[in-house]
Amino acid sequence: MAILSIRDVTKTFGGIAAVNHVSFELAEGELAGLIGPNGSGKTTLINMLSGLLSVSGGDILLDGRSLLGLSPDRIAKRGVLRMFQLTRAFNRISALDNLLVAGRALGLGGEEATRRALRLLEELRIDHVMNLDAGQLSGGQRKLLEFGTCFMVPPRVALLDEPFAAVHPTMRAIMADFVRRRHAEGQTFLLVSHDMPIVKELCPRSVCMNAGSVIADAPTRAVLDDPNVIEAYLGGHAA
């Protein structure tokens, strides 16, 4: 059984379908890319999967149970955690405390939350700034911090919305290595990205959206060679 099932999901705004009858599934332990041009509906879909937007039609199931009508915090506690395209750290508390807040909100005790936070800070190579307020961190460090909040409690599904955008190559490599290691351990990911080299490297499979609909769902290299994808997203040139 799929860990995450997206079944005929639609989202309309004023009669316009931003997401139009989208269906696909993620198997447990899968690392799949979600690609497409700007305005194709990717972030709208992620917002529905994480409970920030209601669903106009269709259903979303985690482990066979519908997520419809659940608040974002209840969806997070069921194991669907997401990283935002624009970072949303608490600027006036330390990087360490940002992770502790995430861990405690997901039910960790104080000692366990601290242990996991320190390990994540070291793994993401931001332990040297852990006592600085998040607002004092560089943009890339803030990305790494928000990235870390998704893994204070191992998620059933990690939804990563453009984690590599506008990030220094060194920090991009840190995140990519983290994803690679966690995937090898069985973590499930849905990765939204315009960084085609990273998508090709990390994601065995990709789903491409255009104008709110899925236009390709196949092994990543096959998707990037698909004429419909090339026309819609890659400007007429294969990646």
The radius of gyration computed from the CA coordinates of the chain, to the nearest angstrom, equals: 18
Q: 208: which strand partners?
A: 35, 216
Report whether pLDDT(182) > 80.
yes
Please say whether the beta carbons of 18 and 41 come within 8 A: yes
pTM: 0.89
Domain map (residue ranges) of the chain: 4-89+154-232
> Please, which pLDDT band fits residue 238 given cuts at 50, 70 and 90?
very low
Residue 237 has pLDDT above 60, yes or no: no
Domain 4-89+154-232 listed as CATH 3.40.50.300: yes
pLDDT level of residue 85 (50, 70, 90 thresholds): low
210-68-74 Cα angle (round to 5): 110
Q: What is the pLDDT of residues 90-143, one digit of tens each?
A: 889 999 999 999 899 888 898 999 999 999 999 999 999 999 999 999 888 988
Average pLDDT, the chain: 91
Q: How confident is the model at residue 234 (pLDDT cuts 50, 70, 90)?
A: low
Per-residue pLDDT reduced to its tens digit, 164-181: 887 889 989 999 999 999
Q: Would you call 153 helix, strand, or coil by DSSP?
A: coil
**CA pair distance 80, 193, nearest whole angstrom:** 18
Residue 204 has pLDDT above 80, yes or no: yes
